[in-house]
Amino acid sequence: MKLEVLPPLYVQIKNHLLRKITNDEYDEHSKLPSERKLSQKFDVSRMTARKALNELVNEGYVYREAGRGTFVAGKKIERDFIEINGFTEHLKNCGINGIETEVITKKIIEVDNKIAEKLNVNTGTKCYKIVRLRKVSNNPISIQYAYLAVEKFNEIIKYDLKKESLYQIIQEYYNCNITKATSKLELRYLDEYNAKLLKLSKKMPVFKINQVAYDNNNNVIEYCQSLNRTDVFSYAFEITK
């Protein structure tokens, strides 16, 4: 008689939790049992329980928030590099509700070599640095670092960047249309500051997007660095021959 070989204990725990997630027994963004509770329930070590949770994190079914625990991931928001639109506008088009923007920083800086090159200005040029934390239902999902030349967009930080779209402000108040953008996507790990803002462990990678936006005369309008949660976003590409 052939004996059934059971998978390792951490896989059994992972599969148990995964069934509950896929059967909607756990709501999106609901908290999973802690390592301690799982180890007690299944009579295993906390290391085994941690490994089961790590597997779910790595596969994108759950996410961790530093100091708070492990939570069920929501359905991912798909973005592409085909259509140019603002962040909030895109989320609304996806049917996302509860969108919030927290303005972390808005100030004038003198740009370094790297940002100067992106904006096509001289090093030391005065530019606006605007840092916004994007949230859905009070859950942080993205941080955006935007840089714009003061000479082109004088006093742009006087507008309510918490409620108004930066792209709409640029269009309506500065008579400037963004018609093209170049983007670079990569996976990066967070520093302590950004991890705290996104409520993530520094071991959790994020999508980092460097984007340069242009007007119809090919003039640089904005340089933006975005840090987007991998448990929230996915990216689509269209390739034609």
DSSP 121: S
Q: How far is CA 123 from the centre of its chain?
A: 29
Q: Tens digits of per-residue pLDDT, 119-143?
A: 999 999 999 999 999 998 888 999 9
Q: Which of 97, 192, 109 is nearest to 146 (CA)?
A: 109
For CA atoms 229, 230, 233, 236, the dihedral sign is positive
User: Among residues 111, 33, 119, 116, which one has the least CA distance to residue 70?
Assistant: 33
Report the relative pairing of strands 220-229 and 206-215 from DSSP bridges.
Answer: antiparallel
Residue 1 predicted with pLDDT over 60: no
Mean pLDDT of 209-233: 92
pLDDT at 149 over 90: yes
Name the pLDDT band for 81 (thresholds 50, 70, 90).
Answer: low
Separation between Cα atoms, residue 166 and residue 61, nearest integer Å: 32
The two three-digit tokens of residue 96, written as one number: 């996302």
Structure-model confidence comparison of residues 26 and 203, the more confident one: 26
21 vs 94, residue with greater confidence: 21
Q: Which domains does the chain have, with CATH numbers?
A: 9-72 (1.10.10.10), 77-236 (3.40.1410.10)
